[in-house]
Amino acid sequence: MRLVGETNIPELKLLKRGKVRDIYIVDDKNLLIVATDRISAFDYVLHNLIPYKGYVLTGISVYWFKKIPFKNHFLTDEPPDFLSEESKNLILKRSMVVKKTDVLSVECIVRGHLAGSALREYKKTGTAYGTKLPEGLKDYAKLPEPLFTPTTKEETGHDRPINFEELINIVGRETAEFLKETSLKLFNLGYEELFKKGIILSDTKFEFGIDEDGNPIIIDEIFTPDSSRYVDLEMWKQGRVYDMDKEFVREYLMNSGWDRESPPPPLPNEIVDTSAKRYLEIYERVTGKSANFN
């Protein structure tokens, strides 16, 4: 198993290195997205690499992009034919060729359970992103209905929560309504599918871009353990929470004494190992496939 922290594909021009993905230009209409084993938290890229993470993110995204009845940017998970064998081996099972789009500078978050920042707000004010909620809800309680809580998409610094009117100001009313409607439909589809597999989709993030025909389509990743909170259903029924996503890493950092302003501390080996196991576990439970990436 080869850890990949950064890629260099000499046959292609690098467009961007994101927090986790390296993006290359294939041609005028297509991009190659490579998921590395980098991990980010609280808008910082951490020092450590998580074994198998790039494979898991790509495998789960491909599974869903092929499955959902919504237009998206996915074309193939096969590396371009003209790449060298060395380049193909580097990116195999961790890359996708996708349609190039004009990326919308917002993130569309849907929350079905009370967790994360929504839970912290609720404990202080009884609301979640401005929506009044019933009293007495416990951690990770199911919400009366899913909440659409968009944010800005910042290149640097922290994303900022926005309300629907602000979303309209950024993308226009028609597109804003499409983003909200599609995000909620997609969340409900994923929630029902995963519930059958013994998994609760607590919340998730979608991103959209405008395709060559001027239509918004789903891009980036979908229902991965980086973009979603996954909780084991049976343990949730017992009042316990077993996270199968990077919340495990977030919680470690929040309890480590790190001030979230200075560079983050390295993760201990046991945190890295446990994270890798949870990524592999959620891959197998979501896709029904063995996580055989060696």
Q: Where in the chain is the domain with CATH 3.30.470.20?
A: 103-265
Q: Where in the chain is the domain with CATH 3.30.200.20?
A: 13-100
CATH number of 13-100, picked from 2.60.40.10, 3.30.360.10, 3.40.50.2300, 3.30.200.20: 3.30.200.20
Distance CA 175, CA 101 (A): 15
Distance CA 37, CA 5 (A): 6
The DSSP H or E segment spanning 89 is helix 85-91
The owner of tokens 């080996």 is 269
- Residue 131 CA, chain-centre distance (Å), reads 24
Give the pLDDT confidence score for residue 2 in this predicted structure: 86
Give the pLDDT confidence score for residue 141 in this predicted structure: 97
Task: Report residue 187's pLDDT band, with 50, 70 and 90 as the boundaries.
Answer: very high
Task: Report residue 155's pLDDT band, with 50, 70 and 90 as the boundaries.
Answer: confident
Please determine, for residue 294, whether its predicted confidence score (pLDDT) is greater than 80: no
Task: Report residue 154's pLDDT band, with 50, 70 and 90 as the boundaries.
Answer: confident
- The share of the chain scoring above pLDDT 70, in percent, equals 99
CA within 13 Å, CB half, 124: 9
CATH class of 103-265: alpha beta
Q: Which of these, 4, 22, 21, 5, lies nearest to 13 by C-alpha position?
A: 22
